[in-house]
């Protein structure tokens, strides 16, 4: 069956109707899923296996039959472990149809057809009884339903239901328990992902400042989890204020309650500072004694020998609603509130115990200032990057004149305010949503009238226009012609680096409103490329083959099949500051885009080759954009620096780069025949806005 889906093309902005295969969504889900990453997680797999063997033995020792319920079986892996460990029968529940189908095949291929029944249902739909899905309740409950936040994938309601209806009282559970740990820290870097810092502008008529409206300052933000590879955060980027403490734990062998609740601990800061961030991770004990344990603890907490790279479980960063000064040794209370699917934190000064208990509100945080809805965490970080802002300030100073009429095209950007401060006569900003209009308005009319920082008060000087570029009219612009067109460019619809070329299309659409000698800033952009070897990221695309002795190749075939589905095959966005890699070639500029001219009719293409200068596996090409604001001033969204002779790369921490994996390299086992060069052919189709790439290893 085919269906039609409408979407705005992220690069050209054109509305497109795409004919979608009905399976399109699930191909996307499989291609981008973490199944392969889980199957590569040796530490996780061996511990599950040990835990399952131990649970089966305990049941057998009691003289009972071992009946296993495996909720969320995926490939069927944990059920196959249980069957191999001697379980009498396994019910393997999987809600996602393509996975349930794969599980059936994998179970059969591995010879467990008689021992494992795959049931394609959500666990809450499963029935028990002589005519039910399960003959009887199980006495071993096995699951792996955890995300980085532990409960974000619905583990709690699933367990609650399973204990009520699907398993026996006193059942064994693998894992047996999960424990959530926290540590209080101060970190300007992480805090900059959540609050807008004052922006200082040295204008000709004195220092100006953009201050965040008070609504923004007291806003609790959004409840969505901020999960990162915390191991890539250097210790110089945060200050530890407390020891690691246990926040709460869940015993999965007993009835679980999923209703909203809170947990509170007393903390004694080990250092004075500003409490801003709660770092959090968990571990799971596979057995009651806690001997078989799998931990997500970051590098400064656990020994490096316990280290296992994984991308399906990372660590969480929680932002306190406000920063709180804390003093070494002066007790504070940290409260974790949770609903069924998410966790958030509050910090209070220690008062009388009773007094503190009374006022815990368990409502999930709701963004009141709207900025947290418009700007995601990396975007906050980018807006707070003073170095970057300075590049825009310097280049605006170069191009603006006292009679400049300026039009800004970017989503929720501070550029219009900068342009005004730096002396433009009139500034217009084109916003593509009511949300960005509203946030922009707030940035210009701060509610707080501060004695030190005059309020931004810019309503007459900056006009906000909510319109798509092609619908811009002379009356929006008060019949003025634009002499300076600016953009960061940044658009919320961009996923891959070159999607921000939308600026070029918008520039083309507004051409009739521009003066003949208009200045466009950035004047051009360029696409850059480098061949890299990843330390770990390659694993997410490498085939699994066998896992703990079970043949899971069906899964590989399924992922490959999904990857070959249209756009999944192309480059994928990854924030590379989280994924160490080393450069094997010099970075190379491959395409340039001249924003001073309109988008050409013809395609832009290039071919060439790069030499490989270092030994290593060419896992793929990384691509990124640079924007040339004015002569000699650029902002770079990709490679910042190659930090040593080993070729370790430093990436822009606020942007995702595009990664094009070379599957032939990732799939091969041996390091023989190292290629000496990589040839490329890259084509930018100006009609569709798509970039097609082809690479060959020589
Ligand atoms: N057990 C496998 C896969 C874990 S991924 C392994 O350890 O390798 C979790 C899987 O659980 C996903 O495939 C998801 O679709 C499924 N799932 C999550 N909640 C479920 C529920 N309540 N009922 C059935 N399947 C569920």
Residue-level pLDDT at 156: 98
Please give the distance, rounded to the nearest whole angstrom, from the Cα atom of residue 535 to the centre of ligand 1.
Answer: 28
Question: Tell me: the pLDDT tens digits for 509-554?
Answer: 999 999 999 999 999 999 999 999 999 999 998 888 999 999 999 9
Ligand 1 nearest-atom number relative to CA 38 = 8
In eight-state DSSP terms, residue 609 is E
For the CA of 93, the nearest atom of ligand 1: 24
Predicted local confidence at residue 121, as pLDDT: 98
Q: Ligand 1, residue 142: give the atom nearest the CA.
A: 1
Q: Which position among 144, 149, 431, 533 bears the catalytic label? A: 144
Picking from 317, 682, 341, 689, the residue whose alpha carbon sits closest to that of residue 527 is 682
Query: 254: which residues sit within 8 A by CB, 6+ positions away?
Result: 163
- State the closest ligand 1 atom to the C-alpha of 72, by its place in the atom list counted from 1: 11
- Cβ count near 307 (within 10 Å): 11
Q: How far is the CA of 626 from the centre of ligand 1 (A)?
A: 41
* Partners of 431 in beta bridges: 466
**Catalytic one among 20, 29, 153, 324?**
153
Instruction: Please indicate whether residue 570 is annotated as part of the active site.
Output: no
Q: Which atom belonging to ligand 1 lies closest to the Cα atom of 145?
A: 9
Question: Cα(460) to centroid of ligand 1, in Å?
Answer: 55
Ligand 1 first shell, C-beta below 6 A? 38, 71-75, 77-78, 93-96, 99, 122-123, 144-145, 154, 158
Nearest protein CA to atom 11 of ligand 1, as residue: 72
Indicate which residue's Cα is closest to atom 9 of ligand 1: 72
Question: Is residue 623 within 8 Å of residue 571, measured between CB atoms?
Answer: yes
For 78, the token pair is 């944990």
Residue 15 confidence (pLDDT): 81
The reply to whether 268 belongs to the active site is no
Instruction: Determine which residue's CA is closest to atom 20 belonging to ligand 1.
Output: 72
- Return the residue matching tokens 């709690």: 156
CB atoms within 10 A of CB 246: 11
Q: Which residues of 322-358 are buried (b: 16+ CB within 10 A; e: fewer)?
A: ebbebeeeeebbbbbbbbebebbbbbeeeeeeeebee
Atom of ligand 1 nearest to the CA of 34: 5
Residue nearest ligand 1's atom 19 by CA:
72
Counting ligand 1 atoms within 8 A of each CB, the residue from 33, 43, 74, 122 with the most, and so the one to mutate, is: 74
CA of 180 to the centre of ligand 1 (A): 21
pTM listed for this prediction: 0.94
Measured in Å, residue 144 CA sits from the centre of ligand 1 at 7
CA of 124 from ligand 1 middle (Å) equals 13
- Distance of CA 580 from the midpoint of ligand 1 (Å): 29
The list of the chain residues with pLDDT below 70 reads 1-4, 18-25, 28, 32, 304-306, 351-362, 445-459, 565-569, 669-672
pLDDT tens, position by position, 90-139: 999 999 999 999 999 999 999 999 999 999 999 999 999 999 999 999 99
What sign results for the dihedral spanned by CA atoms 598, 599, 603, 604?
Answer: positive
Which two structure tokens, joined as six digits, stand for 196?
């807008």
Mind giving me the DSSP string for 446-460? -S---SSS-----TT
Tell me the longest C-alpha to C-alpha distance in the chain: 90
């Amino acid at each position: 069956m085919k269906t039609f889906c409408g979407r705005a093309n992220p690069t050209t902005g054109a509305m497109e109707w795409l004919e979608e295969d009905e399976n399109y969504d699930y191909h996307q889900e499989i291609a981008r899923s973490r199944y392969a990453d889980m199957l590569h997680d040796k530490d996780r797999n061996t511990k599950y296996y040990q835990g399952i063997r131990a649970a089966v033995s305990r049941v057998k020792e009691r003289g009972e039959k071992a009946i296993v319920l495996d909720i969320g079986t995926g490939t069927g892996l944990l059920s196959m472990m249980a069957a191999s460990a001697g379980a009498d029968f396994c019910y393997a529940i999987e809600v996602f149809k393509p996975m349930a189908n794969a599980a059936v095949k994998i179970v059969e291929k591995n010879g467990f057809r008689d021992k494992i029944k795959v049931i394609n249902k959500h666990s809450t739909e499963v029935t028990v009884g002589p005519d039910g899905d399960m003959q009887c309740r199980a006495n071993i409950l096995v699951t792996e339903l955890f995300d980085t936040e532990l409960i974000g994938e619905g583990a709690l309601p699933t367990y609650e239901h399973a204990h009520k209806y699907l398993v026996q009282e006193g059942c064994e559970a693998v894992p047996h328990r999960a424990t959530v740990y926290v540590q209080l820290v101060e970190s300007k870097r992480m805090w900059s992902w959540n609050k807008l810092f004052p922006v200082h502008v040295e204008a000709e008529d004195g220092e100006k400042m953009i201050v965040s409206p008070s609504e923004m300052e007291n806003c609790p933000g959004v409840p969505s989890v901020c999960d990162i590879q915390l191991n890539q955060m250097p210790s110089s980027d945060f200050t530890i204020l407390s020891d690691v403490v246990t926040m709460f734990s869940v015993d999965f062998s007993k009835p679980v309650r999923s209703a909203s609740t809170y947990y509170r601990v007393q903390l004694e800061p080990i250092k004075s500072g500003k409490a801003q961030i709660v770092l959090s991770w968990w571990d799971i004990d596979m057995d009651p004694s806690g001997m078989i344990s799998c931990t997500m603890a970051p590098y400064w907490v656990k020994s490096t020998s316990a280290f296992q790279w994984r991308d399906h479980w990372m660590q969480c960063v929680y932002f306190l609603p406000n920063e709180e000064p804390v003093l070494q040794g002066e007790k504070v209370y940290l409260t974790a509130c949770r609903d069924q699917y998410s966790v958030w934190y509050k910090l209070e000064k220690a008062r009388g115990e009773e007094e503190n208990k009374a006022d815990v509100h368990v409502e999930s945080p709701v963004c009141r200032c709207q900025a947290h809805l418009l700007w995601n965490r990396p975007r906050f970080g980018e807006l707070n990057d003073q170095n970057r802002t300075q590049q825009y300030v310097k280049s605006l100073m170069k191009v603006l004149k006292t009679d400049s009429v300026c039009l800004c095209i970017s989503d929720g950007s501070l550029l219009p305010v900068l342009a005004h401060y730096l002396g433009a006569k009139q500034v217009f900003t084109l916003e593509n949503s009511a949300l960005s209009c509203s946030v922009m308005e707030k940035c210009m009319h701060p509610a707080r009238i501060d004695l030190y920082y005059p309020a931004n008060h810019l309503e007459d000087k900056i006009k906000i226009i909510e319109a798509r570029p092609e619908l811009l009219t002379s009356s929006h612009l008060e019949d003025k012609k634009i002499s300076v067109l600016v953009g960061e460019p940044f658009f919320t619809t961009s996923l891959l680096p070159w999607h921000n070329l939308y600026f070029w299309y918008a520039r083309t659409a507004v051409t009739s409103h521009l003066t003949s000698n208009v200045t466009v800033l950035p004047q051009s952009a360029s696409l850059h490329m480098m061949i890299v070897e990843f330390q770990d990221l390659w694993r997410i695309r490498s085939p699994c083959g066998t896992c703990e002795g079970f043949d899971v190749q069906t899964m590989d075939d399924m992922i490959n099949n999904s990857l070959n589905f249209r756009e999944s095959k192309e480059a994928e966005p990854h924030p590379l500051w989280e994924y160490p890699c080393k450069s094997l070639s010099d970075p190379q500029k491959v395409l340039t885009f001249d924003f001073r001219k309109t988008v050409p009719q013809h395609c832009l293409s290039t071919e060439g080759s790069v030499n490989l200068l270092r030994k290593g596996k060419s896992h793929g090409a990384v691509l990124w954009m640079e924007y040339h604001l004015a002569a000699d001033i650029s902002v770079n969204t990709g490679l910042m620096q190659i930090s040593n002779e080993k070729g370790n790369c430093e990436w822009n921490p606020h942007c995702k780069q595009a990664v094009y994996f070379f599957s032939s390299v990732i799939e091969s086992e041996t390091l023989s025949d190292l290629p000496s060069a990589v040839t490329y052919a890259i084509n930018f189709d100006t009609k569709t806005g798509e970039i097609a790439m082809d690479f060959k290893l020589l």
